[in-house]
Structure 1
Amino acid sequence: MSARTGLSFLWLSAVVFCLDLFSKYLVVKNFELYESINVFPLFNLTYVRNYGAAFSFLAEHGGWQKYLFILLAIAVSLMLVYFLAKNSFAQKLQNSAYALIIGGALANMADRSYHGFVVDFLDFYWDIYHYPIFNLADVAICIGAGLLALDAVKNSEHKKSEGNQ
């Protein structure tokens, strides 16, 4: 009987991937570029195109960055799949984090490959100050990063308590 690995969590990557691309499809089909609909105070749905990475990093650099970000998404995803394969199924927090990051990275990569840009539409603001507009893949990546930080803290505390015994 073989031990289950973290690869069992790849279903979560598939869910993130599909939800993100479906939400972007709905935005592209139903919004004009820069169209914005107020959903509730502090939040709009606003269709923008991001030619760079997080917060439009490298957006104004002639197009080469598209290929860099595609290669980076593939490399990071392959590395995280390797980590999932090495992890035991019991490492649920870390496996979930890796799966969320993989799903988000590959969804943004697919969007970038197909359109040449990433569709962003979640627009939070306060008064005249808007947080950079983002998408569901970005949310998954950030939650994954947060779970990794939480896992690191929990493992650090666990190792300290083992050392004091």
Structure 2
Amino acid sequence: MAADRGARLGFGLAASVLAADVATKAAIVAWVEYGARHEWLPILNIVHVLNRGAAFSFLHDAGGWQRFFFIAIALAASVFLAILMRRPGSSQPERMAFGLILGGALANMFDRIGRGAVVDWIDFHWGAHHWPAFNVADIGITVGAALIVFHELFGRRRVSEVNG
């Protein structure tokens, strides 16, 4: 029963990340001209760029094959994450992390399928130094991965201390 509730939470987080990402990308595509940059805050621009690669534009200029490669990886990862979320041994923090990553992976996969590339629109910078542009899906993936690391470093020990 608790595993089902935890899995529902994970899938709910995945759906939330997916919905937020689809909505924000649709707004960017509709309202921000491709290649445009709008200063929003002194350290934040809203941009409209396409990333044909992965994180930090890895393989962006690889010639087109990478699209199908990243779709296959996202599909395999999504199936694996769904299995992990439903696994009875997964903890609540793990299910939440898996859900965040799943939502981000699916959102970017759908972008690759539909647009051939991922829409990135958040551009943090400090003066002339810009972090690579990203989107809500990337935030879900990053927060989910950080939650897994945090849980592995601190959460498991606490659980074993309580049970031990």
Superposition TM-score, scaled by structure 1 size: 0.91
RMSD: 1.8
Paired residue total: 162
User: 1:4 is matched with which residue?
Assistant: 3
Structure 2: which amino acid aligns with 1:83? L
Q: Is the 8 A contact 2:3 2:86 kept in 1?
A: no
Shift of 1:88: 5.6
Letter of the 2:27 counterpart: L
From the superposition, tell whether residues 18 and 84 of structure 1 become closer, same or farther in structure 2 (CA, over 3 Å): same
1:41 aligned partner: 42
Residue identity in the other structure for 1:32: E
| Divergent runs of 4+, >4 A | none
* CA positional deviation for 1:7: 2.1
Secondary structure of 1:65's partner?
Answer: helix
147-156 vs 94-103, which moves further: 147-156
2:149 maps to 149
1:59 alignment partner in structure 2: 60
What code does the residue aligned with 2:99 have? A
One-letter amino acid matched to 1:69: F
The one-letter amino acid of 2:37's match is: S
1:108 alignment partner in structure 2: 108
CA contact (8 A) 2:120 2:135 kept: yes
SS of residue in 2 equivalent to 1:4: helix
Task: Tell me, yes or no, if the aligned pair for 2:50 and 2:120 is still in contact at 8 Å.
Answer: yes
State the shift of 1:40 in Å: 0.8
Partner of 2:99: 99
Report the CA distance between 1:159 and its aligned residue.
6.4
Q: Which residue of 1 aligns with 2:81?
A: 80
Counterpart mapping for 1:23-34 below 5 A: 23-34=24-35
Change (3 A) 1:16 1:39: same
- The range that moved more, 35-44 or 150-159, is 150-159
Deviation string 1:20-42 (CA, Å, 9 cap, x unpaired) is: 01100000011111111111110
CA deviations on 1:80-137 (whole Å, 9 max, x unpaired) are 1111111368x22111100000000000000110000000000000011000000000
Distance 1:38 1:3, change over 3 A: closer
Cα pair 2:53 2:59 within 8 Å, conserved: yes
Q: Which residue of 2 aligns with 1:124?
A: 124
The residue type paired with residue 76 of structure 1 is A
Task: For structure 2, list consecutive stretches of 5 or more residues without a partner in the other structure.
Answer: none
SS of 2:124 mapped into structure 1: strand
Matched residues in 2 for 1:87 and 1:104: separation? Answer: 23
TM-score, normalised by the number of residues in structure 2: 0.92
Alpha-carbon contact 2:111-2:117 (below 8 Å) kept? yes
Kept after mapping to 1: 8 A contact 2:3/2:87: no
